[in-house]
Structure 1
């Protein structure tokens, strides 16, 4: 079987260059590219003898943008940031708005002391320190053999 290409009188592209430009613009637009990606911060959780530590990577936010709440034994960290770039005196053919939000919840173990939770935000890292209850801390002792 022989394949034959037909030109139909149009040069190079049967749909025309406008068709490709429009869809390339839509599909490669930074607005869609950035906003369709899930914006859930990465987290590190560690445990020591006396405490639990939760670290969230949330660069570009301020302390005021973060909301930390505790409901029963569920610790929730959330943020909602809305920005609008406005320049007066210009006609715009395109203006972008930025809206970012996330919510991340963690179920605390029974050994966590809910009254002793501290938060620190430094260099884009939110560190939550959750102290363990006294009775839950590891206690080492030597056991005598009888």
Structure 2
């Protein structure tokens, strides 16, 4: 009896996948891009995985509240033009993502820079370097 239950347990999810993974109801397993945040003495670095995206697909800005907003949007439509046939199906792709990051107080907001390279958006957030005043004085011995 145990083998039968295992077989049914493995069979049941595939039936649901076949029913719900259609053009009208695609799988809901889409996830947001992975984000890494690194810190050094001089800066924070935000890396966002975005394979296939170009710099034109991104909008990176600071909002009125001083938060960093990263938006990503890409639309694709694959068309094959053939006058002798009609389409029964066309493939469309649409990707949209938005992330708000609250910036630490020590970020120099006017020097933030971003670039896209090898499918990774990198945002450099330089830190404000506070020059410590060197205090030089003679100390009296009492």
Give the alignment's TM-score, normalised by structure 1: 0.69
Partner of 2:67: 74
* Map 1:32-47 → 2, pairs under 5 A: 32-33=26-27, 36-47=28-39
Computed over aligned residues only, the root mean square deviation of the Cα atoms, in angstroms, reads 2.4
Partner of 1:45, secondary structure, is: strand
Partner of 1:115, secondary structure, is: helix
Partner of 1:131: 126
* Structure 2 residue 57 is the aligned partner of structure 1 residue 57: no
Partner of 2:20, secondary structure, is: helix
Would the aligned equivalents of 1:39 and 1:102 in 2 still touch at CA under 8 Å? no
* Map 1:98-113 → 2, pairs under 5 A: 98-113=93-108
Q: What is the distance in 2 between the residues matched to 1:50 and 1:94?
A: 52
Once the two structures are TM-superposed, the CA of residue 28 in structure 1 deviates from its matched residue by 3.5
Give the alignment's TM-score, normalised by structure 2: 0.71
Which residue of the other structure, out of 86, 90, 94, is the alignment partner of 2:89?
Answer: 94
Q: Which 4+ stretches in 1 moved above 2 angstroms?
A: 26-31, 36-39
Structure 1 runs not aligned, ≥5 long: 1-20, 140-146
After superposition, give the CA deviation of every residue in 1:33-77 in whole Å (9 maximum; x if it has no partner): 3xx233411011011101111111011101111110111321011
Q: What is the distance in 1 between the residues matched to 2:39 and 2:50?
A: 21
Once the two structures are TM-superposed, the CA of residue 104 in structure 1 deviates from its matched residue by 1.0
Partner of 1:48: 40
Would the aligned equivalents of 1:43 and 1:57 in 2 still touch at CA under 8 Å? yes
Structure 2 runs not aligned, ≥5 long: 1-14, 133-142
Q: What is the distance in 2 between the residues matched to 1:83 and 1:120?
A: 22
